[in-house]
Amino acid sequence: MAMQSGGRDSGLGTRDSDNSTSNSNSRGALTDAVASFASEGVELPLASNASLVPSPESRVPALESRVPAFADPAQFGRVAVVMGGSSAEREVSLDSGRNVLAALIARGIDAHAIDGIPALLDALRAGHFARVFNILHGQHGGGEDGVLQGALESLNVPYTGSGVLGSALSMDKTRSKLVWQSLGLPTPKFVALPRGAPGSAPGQAVHAAARQVGFPLIVKPACEGSSVGVTRVFAERDLDAAVTLAAKYPGDLLMETLIEGDELTVAILGREVLPSIHIVPKGSFYDYNAKYVAEDTQYICPGLQGAAADDLARLSLAAFDALGCTGWGRVDVMRDHAGRNWLLEVNTAPGMTSHSLVPKAAAAAGIDYQELCWRILETSFDRDQGPGAGDRQCSSGFDRSRDSGGGAP
């Protein structure tokens, strides 16, 4: 099934009614995925609202029938939909937020818009809201880097999306890759480019890193989303300009091997993995314009089928779990010409615009936009257990409060 339009984003599924079963299954998924990659001899990298008319051969299998966890909108209480903020992704967040707010209100939920973290915290301290639908994007006021999550934990206010750990790790692409690498999960060869690193001039360090990674390569900010500040570099003469662009944004930089092949994204909500989407931009690169402005980007869903689809789903869930992510999110992957999948990043507050990928994947699975927003909001009840519940009972299948070693199973 091909979907025309533009995109950022992620998925949906059911709340688990049996936590012990969920924990066992998710632990197994991570272990099985690592074992699968090892058995296949994968070389580990050095540190280095379109009309959907699926064809019979590409029809997405129906998800299991689901009984809603909550049927009465009043059970959510008064909901703050926090959007906008002060990150580089403010405009996308405002667009996402307006859509989410309208969907929740249409379902009878007492939802209200709040612009940015300071206004949200003032309203919460005044007792105006029972829970938060976080649709902020990015870091430094974007609400996707763990800072907002920590504040909400301290106020004991439930919210959507990953907790402090999953949000902070996922926002930092370098540290995400280090975690995946330690577990044997495939990610492109990379070199971190810290700001102000001692030992050599910035230009020397950049060119040395490029020689280590090899061309073609990607240069990007380590902690931005929506393809902000990203450049594909095919020759050394273009390297300095790429670094100059990426350095306009806060934080460290990341250089990684450019994987040439198909760009895929996989949406997750709860423990459900939605059908993948194969992204085909009109140009050579799925950049900011192709994601949010262009109307000629093609989205093919499912992106893969059969055993290849199963392998990608297993890898995506393992990557999501490895970073301690919970609730919902999107895993971005490149599939090279040899059919090998390479993890790029996890997005813990995916876009919900008219061009976004979460709603497209949901629609392919028979879930409309309003239902998707309802299900995402349902995941906030997992945090009603108290502060830190989302990180203690993380989706990688073990209870951090009981794990004296602090390591993954």
pLDDT one-digit tens code per residue, 270-291: 889 999 999 998 766 655 555 5
| pLDDT value of position 344 | 94
Question: What's the token pair of residue 358?
Answer: 């979460």
Of 53-57, 118-122, 200-204, the least confident: 53-57
Residues 6+ apart with CB under 8 A from 355: 5, 6, 7, 8, 291, 292, 293, 297
Q: How far apart are CA 278 and CA 320, in angstroms?
A: 19
The model carries a pTM of 0.75
Residue 264 phi, psi dihedral angles, 5° rounding: -125, 150
Query: Which CATH architecture best describes the domain 73-161?
Result: 3-Layer(aba) Sandwich (3.40)
Q: Is 128 left (phi over 0), alpha (psi -120 to 50) or beta?
A: alpha
- pLDDT at residue 319 is higher than 70: yes
Residue 294 phi, psi dihedral angles, 5° rounding: -65, 145
Q: Which of 277, 270, 211 is nearest to 46 (CA)?
A: 211
Please return the burial class of 175, using the count of CB atoms within 10 Å of its CB with bins 0-12, 13-18 and 19+.
middle
| pLDDT value of position 193 | 84
Domains 2-66+259-368 and 189-257 are alike in CATH topology: no
Residues 6+ apart with CB under 8 A from 113: 81, 83, 97, 98, 101
**Where residue 311 falls among pLDDT bands split at 50, 70, 90?**
very high
Higher pLDDT, 136 or 203: 136
CA–CA distance from 155 to each of 121, 167, 400 (Å)?
Answer: 9, 18, 21
| pLDDT value of position 21 | 38
Q: How far apart are CA 154 and CA 324, in angstroms?
A: 19
Q: Interhelix angle for 147-154 vs 164-171, to 10°?
A: 170
Superfamily of domain 189-257: ATP-grasp fold, A domain (3.30.1490.20)
**H helix count then E strand count, the chain:** 13, 14
Q: Which of 359, 407, 350, 375 is nearest to 167 (CA)?
A: 350
Where in the sequence numbering do the catalytic residues fall? 89, 226, 292, 330, 332, 345, 347, 351
Q: Tokens 């009603």 — which residue?
A: 384
> What is the rounded end-to-end Cα distance, in angstroms, of the chain?
38
**Where residue 27 falls among pLDDT bands split at 50, 70, 90?**
very low
Q: Which of 10, 31, 27, 7 is nearest to 19 (CA)?
A: 27
CATH 3.40.50.300 fits 2-66+259-368, yes or no: no
Higher pLDDT, 183 or 218: 183
Of 30-34, 248-252, 398-402, the least confident: 398-402
Q: How far apart are CA 68 and CA 137, in angstroms?
A: 27
Torsion of CA 383, 387, 389, 391, to 10 degrees: 120
The domain spans of the chain are 2-66+259-368, 73-161, 189-257
Q: Which of 232, 286, 290, 289 is nearest to 263 (CA)?
A: 286
> What percentage of the chain reaches a pLDDT higher than 90?
50
Residue 165 three-state SS = helix
Is the Cα dihedral 24, 27, 29, 32 positive or negative?
negative
